[in-house]
């Protein structure tokens, strides 16, 4: 498998670390309500896998309305995508492992209410070191019934759910973005490979760890996250050392010939 390198420009070089159950980063949000389609891109490193913890969430304290990406309530090896409906709630749970303790991993999620039944959510993961993408197989795919609950009352949480809930993600988060479209895998891959995360297509984009009290929204949409408890963490590329340069194939798929380019990482 070819080695992967990441460009210095635009690539996350810090993180926010969560340890206490109430740690969180929150915004009331602008233009984030009642989304019929959206995508999420995250760079995370869990230190512990615990059932029912949340990674990214727009859901009111105590639940009831909204959506979340988090861990299954019965098996911490599986991720769960969930949205409240007025009848039966929507719940998709992976049957494949996507996060490994102490390993930086990209998590990409796309959702569209117009997609066919049983396929309303798509989830992909990519180990930061290998660069290979894994597509989620769903062990549970419950579409739910009746209209989706209005979620305007719910704040957007990075690393937790609701101000009174004790469901914080355990580990570090170095990048988060919420896009207005349901993106394809090749689009996620291009962003990760080039460092161009297309903030013009995002409702919010955040580089946690660059400020102790806030995570600023670089899109200009004003969705700055206020930090409670979580602290500044390490860079996801620190393990590359001072000379952060690796030869990398110019495309995600193995190319014909010997097409390669070199990225240099700032120390």
Backbone torsions φ then ψ of 191, nearest 5 degrees:
-60, -45
Do 121 and 113 meet the contact criterion of CB atoms below 8 Å apart?
no
In degrees and rounded to multiples of 5, residue 170 shows phi and psi of -105, 105
User: pLDDT of 137-193, one tens digit each?
Assistant: 999 999 999 999 999 999 999 999 976 678 999 999 999 999 999 999 999 999 998
- The 10 Å CB-count burial string (b at 16+, else e) for 132-157 is ebbebebeebbbbeeebbebeebbbb
Dist CA 50 CA 116 (whole Å): 31
How high is the pLDDT of residue 163? 60
CB within 8 Å of 178: residues ≥ 6 apart: 32, 38, 39, 40, 56, 156, 202, 203, 204, 205
On the 0-12 / 13-18 / 19+ scale of CB atoms within 10 A, 262 is exposed
Interatomic CA distance for residues 97 and 82, integer angstroms: 18
Across the chain, what does the average pLDDT equal? 86
Residue 217: phi and psi, rounded to 5, are: -85, 115
14-23 pLDDT tens trace: 999 999 999 9
Nearest to 230 by CA among 21, 68, 41, 48: 21
Domain boundary assignment for the chain: 15-235
Is 71 in a helix, a strand, or coil?
strand
pLDDT digits (tens, 9 = 90+) for 213-255: 999 999 999 999 999 999 999 999 875 544 444 333 333 433 3
**CATH of the domain spanning 15-235:** 2.60.120.200
Note the helical H segments in the chain: 185-194
């Amino acid at each position: 498998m070819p080695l992967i390198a990441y460009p210095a420009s635009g690539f996350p070089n810090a993180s926010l670390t969560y340890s206490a159950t109430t740690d969180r980063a929150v915004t009331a949000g602008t233009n984030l309500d009642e989304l019929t389609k959206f995508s999420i891109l995250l760079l995370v490193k869990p230190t512990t896998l615990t059932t029912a913890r949340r990674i990214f969430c727009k859901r009111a304290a105590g639940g009831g309305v909204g959506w979340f990406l988090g861990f299954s309530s019965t098996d911490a090896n599986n991720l769960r995508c969930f949205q409240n409906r007025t009848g039966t709630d929507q719940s998709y749970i992976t049957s494949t492992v996507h996060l490994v303790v102490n390993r930086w991993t990209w998590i990409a999620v796309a959702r569209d209410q117009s997609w066919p039944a049983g396929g309303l959510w798509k989830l992909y993961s990519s180990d930061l070191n290998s660069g290979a993408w894994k597509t989620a197989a769903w062990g549970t795919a419950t579409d739910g019934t009746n209209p989706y609950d209005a979620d305007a009352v719910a704040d957007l949480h990075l690393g937790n759910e609701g101000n009174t809930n004790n469901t914080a993600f355990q580990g570090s988060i170095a990048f988060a973005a919420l896009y207005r479209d349901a993106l394809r895998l090749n689009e996620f891959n291009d962003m990760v490979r080039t460092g161009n995360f297309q903030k013009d297509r995002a409702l919010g984009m955040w580089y946690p760890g660059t400020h102790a009290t806030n995570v600023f929204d670089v899109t200009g949409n004003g969705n700055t996250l206020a930090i409670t408890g979580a602290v500044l963490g390490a860079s996801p590329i620190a393990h590359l050392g001072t000379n952060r340069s690796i030869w990398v194939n110019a495309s995600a798929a193995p190319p014909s010939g010997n097409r390669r380019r070199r990225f240099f990482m700032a120390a």
